Amino acid sequence: MFESLTEKLGNALRNLRGVGKLTEENMAEALKEVRTALLSADVHFKVVREFVDRVQEKCVGQEVLKGVSPGQQIVKIINDELVRLLGEGTTDLSGARPLKILMVGLHGSGKTTSTAKLGKLLKKRGYRPFVAACDIYRPAAIDQLEILAKQEELGFYADRASKDVPAIGTAALAAAKEATADAILFDTAGRLQIDHDLIEEVKKLRERIQPDEVFLVADGALGQEAVNVAKAFNDALQLTGLILTKMDGDARGGAALSIKTITGVPIKFVGTGEKTADFDTFYPDRLASRILG
Ligand code: GDP
């Protein structure tokens, strides 16, 4: 469906055949293609500019290696730089026990589904996970989480009568302790857009439960808008990780590159489908190849 970045680079790079050394001049066309391709993969323009400058810095002055074409050499530099950027700062999950994870994000991003998916994954890793429904606005979201928790045999807590989110958090912690759970995931409410009241509510919950991880669930197809969303959540809640959803779709992953570069928040997991098993640890090299095509 997409012409890949590598293909797009093809023409620009052909002109480089035979050059002995990469210079700003002989690379200009290739870098223009890189810029256009990243913009069309929905990478934020500021990130594109920085990225292209960095690739140029790395390329200029390099002797073209024997046995490879200048094009291959540039593609490798671009790939290495993407992997480095995407993977920078990536750490394992907090080792705290009980492990408390706060899940935040916009409505429809895949937050509830990802909460159950992460619970399932933690169970596979030997935890006794417990999920808490903290969305007081959408009873359907509570039902959805309950169904998924039953299906995956995860502990579950909800208080459908309460409108006091921090109190729900405290009660959920007590219920999890009672159930001898050692990983507690809090699914919170989302809105269609960043909303001051919503952020304040999640901040209060955060203060109350003192999570070890705060994960933003973001739709991988969100495009450049993803950066504003991630910045707002990060400023208010000091995110510790990003879960990128719907990467089974057409999204090229530009959003991920933008969020990672601008906020510095590491990408931790990737959602690749609607089923609870469609969830994986994040691998920078896979996303780099996807962005490059
Ligand atoms: P929430 O409002 O953020 O809690 O979003 P939901 O968890 O209810 O998910 C919204 C929709 O996205 C549902 O139809 C999910 O099945 C779907 N969804 C969530 N994650 C993924 C994913 O990784 N891939 C695909 N294809 N769909 C997903």
pLDDT computed for residue 270 by the predictor = 95
CA of 104 to the centre of ligand 1 (A): 13
> Which amino acid, 20?
G
pLDDT computed for residue 3 by the predictor = 61
> Which amino acid, 256?
A
CA dihedral 117, 291, 81, 232 (to 10 degrees): -60
Band (pLDDT 50/70/90 cuts) for residue 30 is confident
What would the mean pLDDT of 242-268 be, rounded to a whole number?
88
Question: Residues 59, 27: contact at Cβ < 8 Å?
Answer: yes
Residues of the chain with pLDDT > 90: what percent? 62
Q: How many Cα atoms are found within 13 Å in the side-chain-facing hemisphere of 55?
A: 27
Q: Is the shortest distance between the CB of 284 and ligand 1 below 6 Å? A: no
Could you report the per-residue pLDDT of 193-229, keeping only the tens digit for each?
A: 888 999 999 999 999 999 999 999 999 888 778 888 9
Band (pLDDT 50/70/90 cuts) for residue 174 is very high
Distance CA 277, CA 271 (A): 9
The helix (H) or strand (E) run that includes residue 267 is: strand 267-271
pLDDT computed for residue 256 by the predictor = 87
The helix (H) or strand (E) run that includes residue 244 is: strand 241-245
Could you report the per-residue pLDDT of 89-107, keeping only the tens digit for each?
A: 888 899 999 999 999 999 9
pLDDT computed for residue 6 by the predictor = 66
Band (pLDDT 50/70/90 cuts) for residue 4 is low
Pairing of strands 99-105, 279-281: unpaired
Mutational pocket test of ligand 1: of 274, 278, 279, the residue with most ligand atoms within 8 Å of the beta carbon: 274
Distance CA 14, CA 37 (A): 17
**Residue 1, pLDDT above cutoff 50:** no
Could you report the per-residue pLDDT of 155-173, keeping only the tens digit for each?
A: 999 999 999 999 999 999 9
pLDDT computed for residue 169 by the predictor = 98
Q: Is the shortest distance between the CB of 56 and ligand 1 below 6 Å? A: no
Q: Is the shortest distance between the CB of 220 and ligand 1 below 6 Å? A: no
Nearest residue to 271 via CA among 66, 167, 120: 120
pLDDT computed for residue 193 by the predictor = 81
Could you report the per-residue pLDDT of 98-157, keeping only the tens digit for each?
A: 999 999 999 999 999 999 999 999 999 999 999 999 999 999 999 999 999 999 999 999
What is residue 154's DSSP assignment? -
**Long-range contacts of the stretch 273-278 (C-beta < 8 A, 24+):** 273/248, 274/113, 276/113, 276/116, 276/117, 276/120, 276/148, 276/151, 276/152, 277/117, 277/120, 278/117, 278/248
pLDDT computed for residue 5 by the predictor = 64
Nearest residue to 74 via CA among 156, 137, 122, 17: 17
Q: Is the shortest distance between the CB of 250 and ligand 1 below 6 Å? A: no
Nearest residue to 8 via CA among 30, 28, 26: 30
CA of 133 to the centre of ligand 1 (A): 16
Q: Is the shortest distance between the CB of 138 and ligand 1 below 6 Å? A: no
**ipTM confidence score:** 0.99
Q: Check the annotation: does 245 bind a ligand.
A: yes
Residue of 5 and 256 predicted with greater confidence: 256
Sheet holding 129-134: strands in order across?
155-157, 129-134, 183-188, 99-105, 213-219, 241-245, 267-271, 279-281
Nearest residue to 230 via CA among 261, 251, 187, 197: 261
Q: Check the annotation: does 171 bind a ligand.
A: no
Q: Check the annotation: does 103 bind a ligand.
A: no
> Which amino acid, 162?
S
What would the mean pLDDT of 20-37 be, rounded to a whole number?
86
Q: Is the shortest distance between the CB of 111 and ligand 1 below 6 Å? A: yes
> Does the model's pTM come out above 0.90?
yes
pLDDT computed for residue 17 by the predictor = 74
Residue 161: how many other CB atoms lie within 10 Å = 6
Residue in the block written with tokens 């200048």? 70
CA of 129 to the centre of ligand 1 (A): 20
Q: Is the shortest distance between the CB of 110 and ligand 1 below 6 Å? A: yes
Q: Check the annotation: does 263 bind a ligand.
A: no
**Residue 63, pLDDT above cutoff 90:** no
Could you report the per-residue pLDDT of 31-51, keeping only the tens digit for each?
A: 888 888 888 777 888 889 999
Q: How many Cα atoms are found within 13 Å in the side-chain-facing hemisphere of 68?
A: 13
Q: Check the annotation: does 188 bind a ligand.
A: yes
35-39, 57-61, 203-207, 234-238: range with lowest mean pLDDT: 35-39
Mutational pocket test of ligand 1: of 107, 112, 113, the residue with most ligand atoms within 8 Å of the beta carbon: 113
Nearest residue to 189 via CA among 181, 200, 180: 200
Atom number, ligand 1, closest to the C-alpha of residue 272 = 23
